[in-house]
Amino acid sequence: MEAFLVSTGLVAVAEIGDKTQLLAMILATRYRRPVPIILGILVATLANHALAAWAGAAVAAWLGPDAMRWILGVMFLAMAVWCLIPDKADEGPKVAGAAGAFIATAIAFFLVEIGDKTQIATVALSARFNDLFAVTAGTTFGMMIANVPAVLFGDVLSRKVSLTLVRSLAAAAFAVLGLLALLKLDMGLLGG
């Protein structure tokens, strides 16, 4: 349960203000079909994060606990810095007009998540908790928590929430996890 909750919380906070929310709003405006868009986000995220969680678990099996602690600490600190860097709106993929809302969303979200901070966080969380299912479910749920409102409420969300504050909170959460991992003071938060 701990792996699920930590994964959900970190990804949900990290995703607020991310380019995927902008993509969700653009798709919602273009297609005006929230259910297929939400399902496309779900399918793309499950596929992307399952692959990332598998990679994290594989890496954890090959490395010793001390090496993993240092790698995770550095990865979480890098995530903290990355959260502070605003996304550029033009980095997202262009959605083809001929595709349906579900297919366009699934393809776009899968591609835009490759190498994204949440995919890297999923690798790190899976390596730390060694629980493929809980981490994949948690990171996917965190993505849905952040992106479903973007689909349903569009730009209303962006007017009410300071993206600078959200990025700062996400950065602080990743920095704390990174420092706890490096200092061996995880207090149960990192599963060790």
Tens of each residue's pLDDT in the chain, 192 residues: 889 999 999 899 888 877 788 778 777 766 777 888 899 999 999 998 888 888 777 776 777 777 767 876 787 787 677 767 765 543 443 443 435 789 888 988 887 787 778 888 888 888 888 888 999 999 999 999 999 988 886 545 445 656 677 667 667 877 887 788 788 765 444 444
Q: Is residue 127 part of a domain?
A: yes
CA–CA gap between residue 45 and residue 108 (Å, rounded): 11
Residue 71 structural domain? 2-183
User: Angle, to 10 degrees, between the axis of helix 34-62 and the axis of helix 19-31?
Assistant: 150
Q: Is residue 133 part of a domain?
A: yes
**Can you give the pLDDT at residue 43?**
96
**Can you give the pLDDT at residue 183?**
85
Number of domains in the chain: 1
**Can you give the pLDDT at residue 90?**
38
**Can you give the pLDDT at residue 45?**
92
Residue type, 67: A
Q: Are 96 and 183 in contact (CB under 8 A)?
A: no
Q: Is 94 helix (H, G, I), strand (E, B) or coil?
A: coil
Structure tokens at 41: 């986000």
**Can you give the pLDDT at residue 16?**
81
**Can you give the pLDDT at residue 166?**
61
Q: Is residue 189 part of a domain?
A: no
The whole model's pTM is what?
Answer: 0.62
Distances (CA, A) of 9 to 2, 46, 135: 11, 17, 11
Q: Is residue 190 part of a domain?
A: no
Q: Are 49 and 136 in contact (CB under 8 A)?
A: yes
| Distance in Å from the first CA to the final CA of the chain | 14
Q: Is residue 66 part of a domain?
A: yes
Look-up of token digits 């607020």: 16
Q: Are 32 and 159 in contact (CB under 8 A)?
A: no
Look-up of token digits 């909170």: 169
**Can you give the pLDDT at residue 95?**
40
CA–CA gap between residue 64 and residue 82 (Å, rounded): 26
CA–CA gap between residue 55 and residue 69 (Å, rounded): 16
CA–CA gap between residue 67 and residue 58 (Å, rounded): 14
Q: Is residue 77 part of a domain?
A: yes
Q: Is residue 72 part of a domain?
A: yes
Q: Is residue 191 part of a domain?
A: no
